[in-house]
Amino acid sequence: MTAPETALRAESLVKEYGARRALQGVSFDAAPGELIAVIGPNGAGKTTLLQILAGALDATSGAVSLDRREVGWVPQQPAIYSKLSVSENLRLFARLEKVADVDDTVDRMLDQTGLRDRAGDPVGTLSGGNQQRVNIAVGLLGDPRVLLLDEPSSSLDPRQRERLWEFVATLAREDSTTVVYTTHNVAEAERHADRLLVLADGELLFTGTPAELEQATGEHEALDFEGAFVRFLRERGH
């Protein structure tokens, strides 16, 4: 029997900003095709964790197993040029990612994002939801083994959110892409994550499935998942 394959491993990640510790020794593994939601209150260190995993921020100590080129990163704010068109943005980042066939990749991304008819429009003229789609497409250009999404659904309406999660599930299922995302929407995490990482004050409080998180709070029939999560945090002093 072989050990399960690991797509991503974070070991004892610590990030300090002066006297403040944003991350306190966070460790976890992620398997190929696994969907991991990082949840926690504001200031828990979710974005810091993703930035370190993406290689956009250096950890004070600790290690990440993957090279940053194998990781696709989609920051919370669309990191694209508003004066360039959708296709110009995709083409630029595809070239910077040294993608083999730039035109083919851009075509594929325009289809995946459903923005082919807006390909020539400046990104600054698109809605927030469409900008987020371009943002995600740029993160996927390098065909990464791991995709990191920071609050990907925060600017989307319910219909767009549903399409996003379908798209993410397809990536995980069909391409075995590991997806790690942060969200404030606990219900979304319950529905669209294989596993949860619960962070509070930079500390990793829990790793497990949504069901395991509910179990960890005990039997409280009156509580939904969000209520169970809040209770979980309160019981641990957060």
Partner 1 sequence: MRWLLAKDLRILRRSPLLVTLLVLYPLVVALLVGVALSSGPSKPKVAFANLVPPDQAQINLGGQQLDATSYASRLFENVDPIRVDSREAAIAKVESGEALGALVIPEDVIDKLQNRLSLGGGEAPTVEVYFSADNPLKRRYVEATIAATLADANKALSDEIFKEAAGYLNLIVAGGSIDLPVVGDVDILGLRNAQTIIDGALAQMPEDDPSRRPLEQVSRFAQLAAENLDVSKPILESIATPVAVDERPLGGTDSSLDVFGVEVAVVLSLMVVTLLLAAGMLALEREEHAFGRLVRGLVSRSGLLAEKIGLAALCGGALAVIMLAVLSAFLDLGWDRVPAWVLALAVAALAFAALGVAIGALTREVRAASLLAFMLALPVAALALIPSGAVSGGLYDLIRIVSGIFPFKPALTALDGALSGGDLLLPLVHLAALTLGFAVLARIALRRFT
Chain contacts with partner 1 (rule: CB under 8 A) = 51, 54-57, 67-69, 73, 75, 77-82, 93, 96-97, 138
Using the structure block, give the residue that is written with the tokens 């994002």. 113
Please state the φ and ψ torsions of residue 85, each to the nearest 5 degrees: -75, 170
Of 97 and 214, CB closest to partner 1: 97
Least separation in angstroms between CB 56 and partner 1: 4
Rounded to the nearest whole angstrom, what is the least distance from the CB of residue 88 to partner 1 in the complex?
13
Is the CB of 64 or the CB of 197 nearer to partner 1? 64
Give the amino acid at 180. V
Closer to partner 1 by Cβ: residue 90 or 186: 90
3-state percent helix, strand, coil for the chain, nearest multiple of 5: 40, 25, 35
Pairing relationship of beta strands 146-150 and 178-182 according to DSSP bridges: parallel
* Residue 28 CB, nearest approach to partner 1 (Å): 20
Question: Cα dist. 189→25, 40, 193, 205, 213 in Å?
Answer: 23, 11, 5, 16, 12
Name which of 80 and 205 has its Cβ closer to partner 1.
80
- Shortest approach of partner 1 to residue 101 CB, angstroms? 18
CA 176 to chain centroid: 15
> Facing residues of 198 across strands?
39, 206
Residue 88: helix, strand or coil by DSSP? helix
Q: State the nearest-atom distance from the C-beta of 92 to partner 1, in Å.
A: 10
Q: How far is the CB of 51 from partner 1 (least distance, A)?
A: 7
Task: Considering the complex, state which of residue 15 and residue 195 has its C-beta at the smaller distance from partner 1.
Answer: 15
Nearer to partner 1, 73 or 165 (CB): 73
Where are the strands (E) in the chain, listed by range?
8-17, 20-30, 35-39, 61-64, 71-74, 146-150, 178-182, 195-200, 203-208
Q: How far is the CB of 68 from partner 1 (least distance, A)?
A: 5
C-beta of 63 vs 96, nearer to partner 1:
96
Task: Tell how far CA 20 is from the center of its chain.
Answer: 24
238 vs 230: CA distance, rounded Å: 9
